[in-house]
Amino acid sequence: MEQPHDLAVDASRVWDRPIVTVPVLICLSLVGGQLPSFSTAANLYTLGTGSALIWLGLGNRAARRPAPRRLPSGVLWWLLPVALFAVLEAATFLMAAKDEFPTFSRLADPLLEEELLRSAAWMLWLATFWGLVRR
């Protein structure tokens, strides 16, 4: 049977296995966690890692898991967290009340100054990115 073009990828590449990708993502996250916000290094590092993952994601270089052709009606449950987050973010952004009614990123900024949490955030970002590349 012919495979759809977006699914037919050889999964046997050595670098495309958890034993390789997990340590690589951890190393990248630890390096990212050392780079302070608003620095040129942090900007270049984010652009570099993001570009590489987008390059992998737009080509057929990484094995992809099959995507569903239809979504069940239960998908509507996702509107609950998405709508709550979107409404709050829009309200806090539009009111521009700074610390009185802070946006999500304003709340996250002080937490992300801590190196360990910053590395954890890097790991979350990169691991999710990798998950999207594989989809």
Partner 1 sequence: MMRTIAITGFLLSLVLFAVVEWAARREGSRIPSIGDVCAYLMRYEVGPVPVGRIGLLGFWWWVGWHFLAR
Contacts with partner 1, residue ranges (CB under 8 A) = 6, 32, 35, 37-39, 42-43, 45-47, 49-50, 53-54, 57-58, 65-68, 70-75, 77-78, 80-81, 84-85, 88, 92, 97, 99-102, 104-105, 107-108, 112, 118, 121-122, 125-126, 128-129, 131-133, 135
Kindly tell me which of 16 and 121 has the beta carbon lying closer to partner 1.
Answer: 121
> Which CB atom, from 2 or from 99, has the smaller least distance to partner 1?
99
One-letter amino acid identity for 61? R
The residue among 23 and 48 lying less far from partner 1, judged by its C-beta, is: 48
- 2 versus 100: smaller Cβ distance to partner 1: 100
H helices then E strands: how many in the chain? 5, 0
Q: In the block, which residue shows the tokens 């759809």?
A: 4
For residues 53 and 64, give the distance between their C-alpha atoms in angstroms, rounded to a whole number.
14
**Shortest Cβ distance from residue 26 to partner 1 (Å)?**
16
Backbone torsion region of residue 36, taken as left when φ is above 0, otherwise alpha when ψ lies between -120 and 50, otherwise beta: beta
CB of 98 to partner 1, least distance (A): 10
Please tell me the number of Cα atoms within 13 Å of 99 on its side-chain side: 2
Residue 90, CB half-sphere, CA atoms under 13 Å: how many? 6
